[in-house]
Amino acid sequence: MSPYIVIISTGSELTAGRSVDTNSGWISNQLFELGWKVKKFVTLPDDPNLIFSELQSLQNLSKEIPVLVIMTGGLGPTEDDYTLETVLKLTGKTSYSVEKAKLRLVKIYEARGKEYKDILPNVFRQTFVPEGCKTLDNSVGIAVGFIENIGENSYLVCMPGVPSEMTEMFKRRLVPELKKLYPRENLLQKTKWLWNIGESLFQNDFIEPNRNEFFKDAEWGVTANRGYIKCIFQSTNEELLTTIISRLESQYPKIISDDVFQFVHEQLLKEKYTISVVESCTGGLLGKKLTEQAGSSAYFMGGFLTYSNELKSKLLEIPIETIETYGAVSDEIARVMVDGLCQKTGTDYGISITGIAGPLGGSDTKPVGTVFIGIKDPIGKTIVHHYVFPGNRESIRENASNTALFLIYQSLKGKDV
């Protein structure tokens, strides 16, 4: 039995439009993986009356059906953080300071060379939770999260609004608790990525024709990302899931992948390959993505940012005439960039990116979105790929660097790239 799920985000910066709430969508996606659909998102300013009346009406609803409320924000140290006080008013409970969280706070301050007495009293507020609740400890920040019973089979979960704290707490602490609170039959899930294809085309070409055969006993969902869509399939029938995935693989052999970020990281470590990059239009974004995971120093050596033609020439010894002949955004320049890169760095893999991120600089033959990506593999073969990515400047740069990671994936998989 699934609860009626509502996600609440609090923060005046959200309702004022100064920040965009990404927490609710992220939580909803994660809950989908547990087999649950969210009924409603609510975003409220840091106003204790508004928060209270929203929670109260959900508490009333819990007299009729099981309700699960997941609320983020308002657990910080400042006076406009009202979550705890509102929950106490709702439940009529008192609060206490979680000893472990207090010790952790003191340690963090000491590590910064400060003493106990330097800690402002309001900072300690973050270690308080309602008595008798289930606590959710925070391994990233300070504020402690908690789960409070608000009715029969109904719970209110409070977590910090800082995404890095919330996501870690959600995965490590909340998911196991939710599975205990709302046990359900084992839902299996498989996820695949498809590259450079739109959601609606995928739905038209894969979901519709297979609707009767597959999607009576399986659910599907698609998340659009920059360069790829993530296709998620869920069912309690493992065999059916396997059939769906193999149909997907045979329909899209050249553009299908698993989680590229994870695979590239693990496989480069495993094969002890090194990699370097030379970036033009992405300005460092590929390097940033290749160093997101701890331990990336084992394979990522570095490289060059050659945004200007002058530096393409100076740092990689590409004659200015060659650049002028072919244009900086061309198959030829992507090729000499990656070859020059690997000569300088001596890594097993090399990647070059040169393109037109726009909004200006496009032409009839090379419109905005045109990107050439060169990849040199460990046996020394260089291939240059040509793309025209959609969207604005940010989207084109994200597309280009994600697609570069897909090319490394394909090469590591031994597939044609």
Confirm or reject binding of residue 123 to its own copies (CB under 8 A).
Answer: yes
Which residues are 6's β-sheet partners? 40, 69
Nearer to its own copies, 133 or 376 (CB): 376
Rounded distance between C-alpha atoms, residue 406 and residue 231, angstroms: 16
Q: Which of residues 275-334 bind its own copies (CB under 8 A)?
A: 276-277, 279-288, 290-292, 294-297, 300-308, 310-312, 314-315
Confirm or reject binding of residue 167 to its own copies (CB under 8 A).
Answer: no
Q: Which region among 169-177, 215-223, 250-258, 406-414 touches its own copies (by CB under 8 A)?
A: 215-223
Confirm or reject binding of residue 62 to its own copies (CB under 8 A).
Answer: no
Rounded distance between C-alpha atoms, residue 139 and residue 160, angstroms: 12
Confirm or reject binding of residue 40 to its own copies (CB under 8 A).
Answer: yes
Q: Which region among 19-27, 145-153, 169-177, 405-413 touches its own copies (by CB under 8 A)?
A: 19-27
Copy the structure tokens of residue 314: 């100076």
Nearer to its own copies, 132 or 367 (CB): 367
Nearer to its own copies, 237 or 308 (CB): 308
Count of residues touching its own copies (by CB under 8 A): 105
Nearer to its own copies, 146 or 389 (CB): 389
Give the number of other CB atoms < 10 A from CB of residue 59: 17
Q: Which of residues 345-404 bind its own copies (CB under 8 A)?
A: 345, 357-360, 367, 388, 390-395, 397
Q: To the nearest whole angstrom, how small is the minimum distance from the Cβ of residue 203 to its own copies?
A: 5
Copy the structure tokens of residue 341: 């890169």
Q: Which of 230, 247, 385, 386 binds its own copies (CB under 8 A)?
A: 230
Q: Which of 2, 43, 236, 243 binds its own copies (CB under 8 A)?
A: 43
Q: Which of 39, 184, 270, 415 binds its own copies (CB under 8 A)?
A: 39
Rounded distance between C-alpha atoms, residue 61 and residue 154, angstroms: 10
Q: Is residue 329 within 8 Å of 335, Cβ to Cβ?
A: no
List C-alpha distances in Å: 319 to 277, 289, 306, 312, 337: 20, 30, 14, 9, 11
Copy the structure tokens of residue 391: 């969207």
Q: To the nearest whole angstrom, how small is the minimum distance from the Cβ of residue 147 to its own copies?
A: 21
Rounded distance between C-alpha atoms, residue 343 and residue 323, angstroms: 19
What is the DSSP-derived secondary structure letter of residue 143?
P
Place of tokens 């000569």: 343
Q: Which of residues 238-257 bind its own copies (CB under 8 A)?
A: none
Give start and end residues of each alpha helix (H) in 185-276. 199-202, 211-214, 238-251, 260-271
